[in-house]
Amino acid sequence: MQLDIVVGFFILGAFAQLVRSDLRLPESLYKSCVIFLLLAIGLKGGAALSKSPITTLLPQSMAVVAFGALLPLVAFPILRYIGRWSRIDAAATAAHYGSVSVATYAVAIALLESRGVDYEAYFPLFVALLEVPAIIIGILLAGTAATSTGGASRGADWGKIIREIFLNQGVLLLLGGIAIGAWAGDRTVSVMPFFGDLFHGVLALFLLEMGRVAAERLPTIRRQGAFLLSFGVLMPLLGAAGGAALASLLGLSPGGIVLLAVLGSSASYIAVPAAMAVALPQANASLSITLSLAITFPFNVLVAIPAYLALVQHWS
């Protein structure tokens, strides 16, 4: 099981934090990397989308949205009744695991492309679609607890929540990139020397900072106990199994099976935290961020993604 070269930068960032080096990506550079990656993924997916028949995309998209709504329904009872978390914390964290990590997806894309594995190029559409249902389900799962504390169930708050879901930086850039790519079609070739050729290099810089941030949260894991570590590894495996099964039912390519498994395995640490801060401000955000960023993200990048690819290649 061979890791992609970009993962080495994640390990370097984690090592730098553990030895207390002053290595840190400037905030402006980190934000630029995020913008670049989202637009690059969106543009490539949009260009492929312009050539894909709606009769194929529509049923697949509906199935993916249903999958995204199901994942938090699986995560919630585990957090609530096994972890014995409060209803609010369980609902907010479950939403993170129903949504996706664009960075995890980018690492999977880098690995597939480096190995020459084909996949459905319109997959960024699924990435965008999976951002929304989990947030809505998470808010609904919070239920009466949110209402009693003046949270998300009040009608006046839904406008802010919907705005945060659809107009936060991550979703807006990804959807914008998809829209531009779909409109431009083959004309995207004029910007691909920038967004295509530099993709792996920018991803490497991004992962350097992600490694540092993930290692920074290790003390929180030690304080919270074994349940965090267990959930942060087992829930991604459940999501990956569901994603791979759905991809097989949809007749996706081996690369597509890997990618949908990765999307099911990942957890959001950008879009969902922003939405939950508006919808469920009383939730303990450190729990969900620690789980998604310090446990699930490293597990996916270092172990799960190459393992999914190896398994799919073995069985296909």
Q: Is 167 exposed, middle or buried (0-12, 13-18, 19+ CB in 10 A)?
A: exposed
**pLDDT tens sequence across 268-305:** 987 788 788 888 888 888 889 989 999 999 999 999 99
User: How many CA atoms within 13 Å lie on the side-chain side of 282?
Assistant: 13
What is the three-class DSSP state of 20?
Answer: coil
Q: Please write down the long-range contacts of 245-252, taking CB distance under 8 Å and 24 or more positions apart.
A: 246/63, 246/64, 246/67, 249/63, 250/59, 250/60, 250/63, 252/119, 252/120
Is 293 in contact with 269 (CB distance < 8 Å)? yes
233-265: pLDDT as tens digits: 999 999 999 999 999 999 999 999 999 999 999
The per-residue pLDDT for 55 is 87
| pLDDT tens, position by position, 113-148 | 999 999 999 999 999 889 889 988 998 898 744 444
3-state secondary structure of 271: helix
Name the pTM for this structure: 0.87
